[in-house]
Amino acid sequence: MTSASAAGGTPATAVYDRIGVGYRAVRRPDPRLADLIHRALAGARTVVNVGAGAGSYEPSDAEVTAVDPSRVMLEQHPGRRKVLAGAEELPFEDGAFDAAMAVMTVHHWPDLRRGLGELRRVARRQVVFTWDPGHRPGLWLVEEYLPEIRRLEQARFTPLSTVVEALGAHTVLPFEIPQDFTDGFQIAYWRRPECYLDAAIRQASSTFAQLPPSVVEPAIGRLRADLASGAWRRRHADLLERESVDYGYRLLIAGSSGEATCSGS
């Protein structure tokens, strides 16, 4: 592993140094999201994956350099080109890569605009997958059991319009979450509520992992009781008929990657 400082010293302390152990077992890349990301990266021979974590969604037909501030996450990354660094100060020359990618990570960056500026500096194309905190409907888990998650998310996630503007994105693609989505981030189990009872699944979500047990455990207890009584299924019978739901996840594309189009918000 190559080591580079995030801001002239030791890399910034990352939450995933604490919660990232065993991450790959729960966060398995979903092929439908992978297809969307890989089409956005098509033709790129060199790619830098910023906030790479364990390497999900990296294209197999490109030379990928993984960047992350967390040693725990990079140790789970299977690649050979790994750099310990933060997004705000990438240790690469201008235009060093054909494309830069960032998947569900920009909300963790201490300085979003600086990090997005670095993506634009080091690569000719930028592909960012993120979430719009203003989108509705929201996940029932948050609305009914853990409103504390909403407060955390509102504090961490920048409005999508701000990210689009700072990145200079010319394309915004919506991604509906399938009911059998394999990548276990928080939204994945919207039609499989029993999965939220599993502590290992909760641990792989940064918002869950940052809430104290005194908040999470009573909420999960209420969910367990609602599942046992059938109350949850009666309340959400409409969801059980759905194959996918738009919960506000978006793929942003910027730089030299085709015609300027925009769909979704």
For 81-85, 123-127, 152-156, 250-254, which range has the lowest pLDDT when averaged over its residues?
152-156
What pLDDT sits at residue 260? 37
What was the pLDDT predicted at 92? 98
- pLDDT in the model for residue 17: 54
**Out of 19-23, 34-38, 44-48, 154-158, least confident range:** 19-23
Q: Domain with 77 in it: what CATH number?
A: 3.40.50.150
In angstroms, rounded to a whole number, what is the distance separating the alpha carbons of residues 33 and 127? Answer: 13
65 part of a folded domain: yes
- The yes-or-no verdict on residue 100 having pLDDT over 70 is yes
User: Is the separation of the CB atoms in 56 and 74 below 8 Å?
Assistant: no
Considering the domain boundaries, does residue 87 fall inside one? yes
Residue 265 lies in a domain: no
Q: Is the pLDDT of residue 66 over 90?
A: yes
Q: Which of 76-90, 180-194, 245-259 has the lowest mean pLDDT?
A: 245-259
pLDDT at 155: 82
Residue 247 one-letter amino acid: Y
CA distance 61 to 40: 13
Position 260 in a domain? no
Would you state the pLDDT for residue 154?
A: 85
Within a 10 A sphere around the Cβ of 144, how many other Cβ atoms? Answer: 16
The pTM (predicted TM-score) of the whole model is 0.87
CB-count exposure of residue 100 (10 Å: 0-12, 13-18, 19+) = buried
Tell me how far CA of residue 125 lies from CA of 83, 96, 119, 183, 224, in angstroms. Answer: 20, 11, 8, 25, 45
Place of tokens 């235009």: 95
Question: Does residue 262 form part of some domain?
Answer: no
**With bands split at pLDDT 50, 70 and 90, how would you rate the model's confidence at 158?**
very high
By three-state DSSP, how is residue 165 classified? helix
Mean of all residue pLDDT scores within the chain:
88
The pair phi, psi for residue 162, each rounded to 5°, is -70, -40
Residue 177 to residue 246: CA distance in whole angstroms: 6
pLDDT, mean of residues 53-64: 94
pLDDT at 3 over 50: no
Residue 186 is assigned to a structural domain of this protein = yes
Q: Is the pLDDT higher at 126 or at 54? A: 126
Residue 23: band (very low, low, confident or very high) from pLDDT cuts 50, 70, 90: low
Tell me the residue range of the domain where 116 lies: 2-255
Which residue from 82, 85, 119 is spatially nearest to 102, judged by alpha carbons? 119
- Residue 160: which pLDDT band, with cuts at 50, 70 and 90? very high
Classify residue 52: in a domain, yes or no.
yes
Q: How far does Cα 22 stand from its chain's mean position? A: 17
Let me know if residue 263 belongs to a domain.
no
Rg for the chain, CA atoms, rounded: 18
What pLDDT does residue 243 have? 98
In 3D space, the residue among 41, 76, 75, 53 whose CA is nearest the CA of residue 66 turns out to be: 53
DSSP annotation string for 45-70? SEEEEET-TT-TT--TTSEEEEEES-
pLDDT tens for each residue of 68-95: 998 888 888 999 999 999 999 999 999 9
Number of domains observed in the structure of the chain: 1
- Asked if residue 124 lies in contact with residue 41, where contact means CB atoms within 8 angstroms, the answer is no
